[in-house]
DNA sequence: CGTAGGACTTGGTCTGATGGGA
DNA sequence: TCCCATCAGACCAAGTCCTACG
């Protein structure tokens, strides 16, 4: 990227606010980096003898390694996935690797294994944890705090920064999401010998636990991570990195939104270009143009290729297959409708029916010709081709910038449309949430309906019913008061009418509020707002909106979010335009 | 060019803490 | 004061995109 950002960064060091400007132009991320290394998962504690594992109805004492892996399964017994074939198969295979040869020959069928005693034990344990006294709980809290203070921070250049994840992931059974072919496999324990430490040469290097060694200590200031290890399920690398509140993350975030704002300036040109490309003589260009249209209009993800059989079968735009779309020349009263139905990231279903322009429709028909359902829709396109093209259209442009751009611009537009100066603060916050929701829907950010959803909806409905009863009672009283007044025509009865009228009005308002709340909650049933708020919406839009409408920023961002967006809170004035 | 590895962002779910109402 | 719904934060999986290598 050609643009060199120089962000004035506010740092609070010993409660003194410093302004600092330092940017590296050679691609290095820091000069000085010092930390204490990661915190390892606690060692395995064998079960008390009274907690039994049964094989084929008979109690059996397991060796510690086999027992540990068995407890991972036992803890999950209530989960549906322990009943799934693939999960059981993968677990059993990996479990056997931990058994002694004696155990291996004895245990030959997972179906004959009974973990329920172990399961009960863990349930009792977690129950006991809940029942702990205040003092015990406080002690744990203090210990956690101590760990955080010791391992949770590092020094990067001149600042003490919070580390995002300083604890190493404990061993367990890999779950994965959706139909993952590796679900149930054993995620092995990470030892110091697996860890690569990254820090600066002139720093105090972290010490490995007594009697152990790090895999390697390196001093690579072209990267931001403090420690890494290779995970055994996919063979990918995991990292320990800084918290979103850190300078290095904040700056990157800011940069991301600046790129999206540059897209705003040239999006018209790019749109005109891809519309033109729909007519191209070359198939690859038409495919590229239609894919880009989807990415822009529907905020689809790029859709990298994935290794088959290694992960769940999910797709994004470039990896869409014929089976994922249906074309309707006419549907109800709309023309040229495309129906999308596929599993995206995290196996979240994307389902949408949208009318498209005739040219797009005709192109899609062309792309589908002579193909099987499992064939690629865009067989002449992949993310690297697409991104190369985008790079030529604008410096730093990639497919995901469209998601950021469209999310942020939508928020800004919606806020403009929905905000009303006469509204109370709660009403304004509601408008904000609605705007946020519009974005979440665009980005297809879904959640499983909360477990207590039905119940809490019912509670709310009960309240509404009660309010309604109150209202009709109040109306009756008003009517009676009116009749009374008509009969007597005195001052006292006149006042009574007024009182009753006010009461009706107040109850009507309360009812309205409840109904709005119910609508809001219902609309939010399957929508997750957090992801867009955290990753797609330029925080300066929200900060400016708060300033403009005199809404306290705390109503929009909680403490963590305010820390993450400190740069924006400091930067944006009420007239900020994305 | 295609591929693999590496670094970093984005994502949903689960759990324990919290705080408001009975 | 207790209970329960809500929320923040932890957790860790799963994407994107870039670079180096053959």
Least confident of A81-85, A156-160, A509-513: A509-513
Tens digit of each residue's pLDDT (9 = 90 or more) over A206-256: 999 999 999 999 999 999 999 999 999 999 999 999 999 999 999 999 999
The Å distance, CA of A103 to C1' of B9, is 44
pLDDT at residue A5, as a whole number: 42
Q: Which has the closest alpha carbon to A466: A420, A434, A517, A514?
A: A514
- C-alpha distances (whole Å) from A119 to each of A79, A115, A122, A123, A124 are 12, 6, 5, 6, 9
pLDDT at residue A536, as a whole number: 94
Q: CA-to-CA distance for A387 and A406, rounded, in angstroms?
A: 17
Rg (CA), chain A: 30
How would you classify the pairing of strands A172-173 and A153-156?
unpaired
Q: CA-to-CA distance for A125 and A138, rounded, in angstroms?
A: 18
Sheet of A153-156, strand order: A33-34, A153-156, A159-162
Tens digit of each residue's pLDDT (9 = 90 or more) over A520-540: 778 788 888 889 999 999 999
Question: Does the structure show a pLDDT above 70 at A7?
Answer: no
pLDDT at residue A424, as a whole number: 78
pLDDT above 90 as % of chain A: 70
Question: Which nucleotide has its C1' atom closest to residue A453's CA?
Answer: C5
Question: Which nucleotide has its C1' atom closest to residue A391's CA?
Answer: C17
Which residues of A belong to the active site? 536
Question: Which nucleotide has its C1' atom closest to residue A557's CA?
Answer: C8
Strands (E) in A231-378, as ranges, are 237-240, 325-331, 334-343, 349-355
Nucleotides of C under 7 A from a protein CB: 5-19
Long-range contacts (CB closer than 8 Å, 24 or more residues apart) made by A288-295: A288/A378, A288/A380, A288/A381, A288/A385, A288/A386, A288/A389, A289/A363, A290/A360, A290/A363, A290/A364, A290/A367, A290/A378, A291/A317, A291/A318, A291/A378, A291/A381, A291/A386, A292/A386, A292/A390, A293/A356, A293/A360, A295/A399, A295/A402, A295/A403
Q: CA-to-CA distance for A193 and A196, rounded, in angstroms?
A: 8
The Å distance, CA of A196 to C1' of B7, is 14
pLDDT at residue A22, as a whole number: 54
The Å distance, CA of A121 to C1' of B20, is 34
A50: left (phi over 0), alpha (psi -120 to 50) or beta: alpha
Q: Report the footprint of strand B: residues with C-beta closer than 7 angstroms.
A: A 29, 126, 129-130, 137, 140-141, 220, 223-225, 228, 230, 235-237, 239, 241, 249, 252-253, 256, 301, 307, 345-346, 348, 384, 400, 403-404, 443-448, 528, 530-532, 535-536
Q: What are the backbone dihedrals phi and psi of residue A355, each rounded to the nearest 5 degrees, phi first?
A: -75, 135
Tens digit of each residue's pLDDT (9 = 90 or more) over A339-358: 999 999 999 999 999 999 99
Burial class (CB in 10 A: 0-12, 13-18, 19+), A444: buried
Tens digit of each residue's pLDDT (9 = 90 or more) over A149-207: 999 999 999 899 999 999 999 999 999 999 999 999 999 999 999 999 999 999 999 99
Averaged pLDDT, A548-557? 91
Question: Does the structure show a pLDDT above 80 at A519?
Answer: no
The Å distance, CA of A233 to C1' of C12, is 13
The residue that minimises its CA distance to C1' of B12 is: A447
Burial class (CB in 10 A: 0-12, 13-18, 19+), A315: buried
Q: Which has the closest alpha carbon to A560: A236, A96, A162?
A: A162
Long-range contacts (CB closer than 8 Å, 24 or more residues apart) made by A260-266: A260/A401, A260/A404, A260/A405, A260/A408, A260/A538, A260/A578, A261/A405, A261/A538, A261/A578, A262/A394, A262/A395, A262/A396, A263/A394, A263/A397, A263/A401, A263/A402, A263/A405, A264/A405, A264/A409, A264/A578, A266/A393, A266/A394
Compare A236 and A134 and report the one with higher pLDDT: A236
Q: Which has the closest alpha carbon to A316: A289, A287, A346?
A: A346
**CB under 8 Å to A442, separation ≥6 — which residues?**
A298, A299, A406, A407, A410
Q: Which two tokens stand for residue A114?
A: 């009974």
**Contact present, A451 and A475 (Cβ < 8 Å):** no
Q: Which has the closest alpha carbon to A377: A311, A325, A442?
A: A325
The Å distance, CA of A453 to C1' of B16, is 19
Averaged pLDDT, A471-484? 83
Q: CA-to-CA distance for A94 and A187, rounded, in angstroms?
A: 9
> Could you tell me the pLDDT band of residue A16, with boundaries at 50, 70 and 90?
very low
The residue that minimises its CA distance to C1' of C10 is: A165
The Å distance, CA of A63 to C1' of C7, is 42
Question: Which nucleotide has its C1' atom closest to residue A346's CA?
Answer: C14
Helix locations, A303-452, DSSP H: 358-368, 383-393, 399-418, 425-442
Q: CA-to-CA distance for A350 and A324, rounded, in angstroms?
A: 10
Tens digit of each residue's pLDDT (9 = 90 or more) over A300-324: 999 999 998 899 999 999 999 999 9
**Would you call A47 helix, strand, or coil by DSSP?**
coil
Question: Which nucleotide has its C1' atom closest to residue A440's CA?
Answer: B11
The Å distance, CA of A522 to C1' of C2, is 29
> Could you tell me the pLDDT band of residue A14, with boundaries at 50, 70 and 90?
very low
**CB under 8 Å to A171, separation ≥6 — which residues?**
A41, A68, A72, A186, A187, A188, A189, A190
- Average pLDDT along chain A: 90
Question: Which nucleotide has its C1' atom closest to residue A526's CA?
Answer: B12
The residue that minimises its CA distance to C1' of B16 is: A130
N-terminal to C-terminal alpha carbon distance within chain A: 21
Single pTM value for the model: 0.88
pLDDT at residue A43, as a whole number: 93
pLDDT at residue A21, as a whole number: 46
Tens digit of each residue's pLDDT (9 = 90 or more) over A393-444: 999 999 999 999 999 999 999 999 988 888 878 788 888 988 999 999 999 9
Q: Which has the closest alpha carbon to A55: A123, A119, A117?
A: A117
> Could you tell me the pLDDT band of residue A486, with boundaries at 50, 70 and 90?
confident
If residue A146 lies in a helix (H) or strand (E), which one and from where to where? helix A134-151
Estimate the crossing angle of helix A358-368 against helix A283-298, to 10 degrees.
120
pLDDT at residue A448, as a whole number: 82
pLDDT at residue A520, as a whole number: 74
Torsion of CA A350, A353, A355, A361, to 10 degrees: 70
The Å distance, CA of A425 to C1' of C17, is 41
**Would you call A218 helix, strand, or coil by DSSP?**
strand
Long-range contacts (CB closer than 8 Å, 24 or more residues apart) made by A138-145: none
Q: CA-to-CA distance for A257 and A247, rounded, in angstroms?
A: 16
Nucleotides of B under 7 A from a protein CB: 3-14, 16-17
Tens digit of each residue's pLDDT (9 = 90 or more) over A370-394: 999 999 999 999 999 999 999 999 9
pLDDT at residue A168, as a whole number: 94
């Amino acid at each position: 990227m050609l643009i060199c950002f120089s962000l004035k960064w506010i740092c609070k060091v010993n409660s003194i606010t410093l302004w600092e400007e330092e940017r590296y132009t050679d691609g290095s991320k820091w000069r000085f980096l010092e930390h204490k290394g990661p915190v390892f998962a606690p060692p395995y504690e064998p079960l008390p003898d009274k907690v039994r594992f049964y094989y084929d109805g008979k109690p059996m004492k397991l060796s510690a390694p086999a027992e540990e892996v068995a407890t991972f399964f036992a803890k999950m017994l209530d989960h549906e996935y322990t009943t799934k074939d693939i999960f059981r198969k993968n677990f059993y295979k990996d479990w056997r690797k931990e058994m002694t040869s004696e155990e291996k020959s004895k245990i030959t069928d997972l179906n004959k294994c009974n973990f329920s005693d172990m399961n009960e034990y863990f349930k009792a344990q977690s129950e006991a944890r809940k029942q702990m006294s205040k003092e015990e709980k406080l002690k744990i809290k203090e210990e956690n705090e101590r760990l955080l203070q010791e391992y949770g921070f590092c020094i990067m250049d001149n600042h003490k920064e919070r580390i995002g994840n300083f604890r190493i992931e404990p061993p367990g059974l890999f779950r994965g999401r959706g139909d993952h072919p590796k679900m149930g496999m054993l995620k092995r324990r990470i030892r110091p010998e697996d860890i690569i430490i990254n820090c600066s040469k002139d720093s105090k290097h972290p010490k490995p636990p007594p009697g152990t060694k790090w895999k390697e200590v390196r001093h690579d200031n072209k990267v931001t991570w403090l420690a890494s290890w290779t995970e055994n399920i996919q063979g990918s690398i995991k990292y320990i990195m800084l918290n979103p509140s850190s300078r290095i993350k904040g700056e990157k975030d800011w940069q991301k939104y600046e790129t999206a704002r540059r897209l705003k300036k040239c999006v018209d040109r790019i749109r005109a270009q891809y519309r033109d490309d729909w007519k191209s003589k070359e198939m690859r260009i038409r495919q590229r143009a239609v894919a880009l249209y989807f990415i822009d209009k529907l905020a689809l993800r790029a859709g990298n290729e994935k290794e088959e059989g290694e992960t769940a079968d999910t797709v994004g735009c470039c990896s869409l297959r014929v089976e994922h779309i249906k074309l309707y020349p006419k549907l109800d009263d709309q023309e040229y409708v495309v129906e999308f139905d596929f599993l995206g990231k995290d196996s979240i279903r994307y389902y949408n029916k949208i009318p498209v322009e005739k040219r797009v429709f005709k192109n899609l028909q062309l792309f589908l010709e002579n193909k099987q359902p499992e064939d690629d829709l865009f067989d002449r396109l992949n993310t690297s081709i697409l991104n190369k093209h985008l790079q030529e259209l604008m410096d730093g442009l990639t497919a995901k910038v469209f998601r950021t751009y469209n999310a942020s611009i939508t928020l800004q537009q919606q806020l403009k449309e929905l905000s009303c100066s006469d509204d109370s603060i709660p009403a304004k916050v509601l408008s904000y949430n609605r705007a946020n929701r519009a974005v979440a829907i665009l980005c297809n950010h879904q959640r499983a309906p909360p477990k207590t959803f039905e119940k809490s909806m019912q509670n709310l409905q009960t309240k509404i019913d009660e309010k309604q009863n109150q209202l009709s009672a109040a109306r009756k009283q008003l009517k009676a008061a009116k009749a009374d007044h008509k009969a007597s025509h005195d001052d006292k009865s006149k006042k009574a009418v007024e009182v009753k009228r006010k009461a009706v009005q107040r109850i009507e308002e309360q009812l309205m509020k409840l109904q709005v709340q119910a609508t809001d909650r219902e609309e939010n049933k399957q929508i997750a707002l957090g992801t867009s708020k955290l990753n797609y919406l330029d925080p300066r839009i929200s900060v400016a909106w708060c300033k403009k409408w005199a809404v306290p920023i705390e109503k929009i961002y909680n403490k963590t979010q305010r820390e993450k967006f400190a740069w924006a809170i400091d930067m944006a004035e009420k007239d900020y335009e994305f």
